[in-house]
Amino acid sequence: MNIALIIAGGSGQRMHQNIPKQFLTVNEKPVIVYTLQAFQNHPDIDAIAVVCISGWEQVLQAYADQFNVTKLKYIIPGGKNGQESIKNGVYELEKHFQKEDVVLIHDAIRPMVSNEIISDCIVKTRQYGCAIATIPCAEAMLETSDGIVSTGSYPRDRLKRTQTPQGFLLGDICNLHREALRKGITNSVASCTLMVEMGKQVYFSAGSEKNIKLTTVEDIDIFKALLIAKRSDWLK
């Protein structure tokens, strides 16, 4: 089976809004619903679970009912940081699914995830045991120690920009979190960084520049534009 684990445990302080950014409404639909519908509509996703910020569980279920997100099976309490939220999610899934099942861990605030991205993550996870959605680094990368000045650069062809979904076999990701706790690692930035910190290899799957993460108000503006954008016919 293939399970989507949507991480919606954050408060979104960088957005400076009164409600968590995953519940902001864009074009009369909450951001998290766009994300849920992407996995609801994918034929290879069997179930959806959401790690939800405290106090918003009933709102989430109401939205799922309103927008007919029938694959939503589990709403799981969030943790004090991203790593703990993911740990809570995979530990709950472990009670209901097999260790060889695929779990795709995805940010609730990446609502533009496409069918192609989801499919490739599933395929690569089955092939390699894990898969991290990535895109090439197109910009020149400068090194800095103080955020003010730089005297060095880093080769961009040696870098990948990571996104979500990040796919794993359920048994493997649960064991990874247990091993991390034993080693005192409790606040890794993402599942892919936790893998690297634990000495594991990660494999890449296809991402997209359109698969944006809604972190600032400017990102909401970009998201609105993407919703109505249509590629010109003359573009190959």
Tokens 């499919």 appear where? 119
Local confidence band at 15 (pLDDT 50, 70, 90 cut-offs): low
In the predicted structure, residue 36 carries a pLDDT above the cut 60: yes
Q: Where are the alpha helices (DSSP H) in 41-190?
A: 57-66, 82-94, 115-128, 170-182
Mean pLDDT computed over every residue of the chain: 94
Tokens 């995830």 appear where? 113
Local confidence band at 16 (pLDDT 50, 70, 90 cut-offs): low
User: How far, rounded to the nearest angstrom, does the alpha carbon of residue 99 sit from its chain's CA centroid?
Assistant: 20
Report which of 66, 70, 60, 67 is spatially closest to residue 8, judged by C-alpha positions. Answer: 60
In the chain, where do the E strands start and end?
A: 2-8, 25-26, 29-30, 47-52, 72-77, 102-107, 130-136, 141-143, 152-154, 160-169, 204-206
Q: Where are the domains of the chain?
A: 2-136+162-224
Local confidence band at 17 (pLDDT 50, 70, 90 cut-offs): confident
pLDDT at position 79, please?
Answer: 93
What would the pLDDT profile of 47-94 be if each residue is shown by its tens digit? 999 999 999 999 999 999 999 999 999 999 999 999 999 999 999 999
- d(Cα 180, Cα 197) in Å, to the nearest integer? 9
Local confidence band at 13 (pLDDT 50, 70, 90 cut-offs): low
Tokens 């996870």 appear where? 125
- CATH homologous superfamily of 2-136+162-224 equals Spore Coat Polysaccharide Biosynthesis Protein SpsA; Chain A (3.90.550.10)
What would the pLDDT profile of 181-235 be if each residue is shown by its tens digit? 999 999 999 999 999 999 999 999 999 999 999 999 999 999 999 999 876 666 5
pLDDT at position 71, please?
Answer: 98
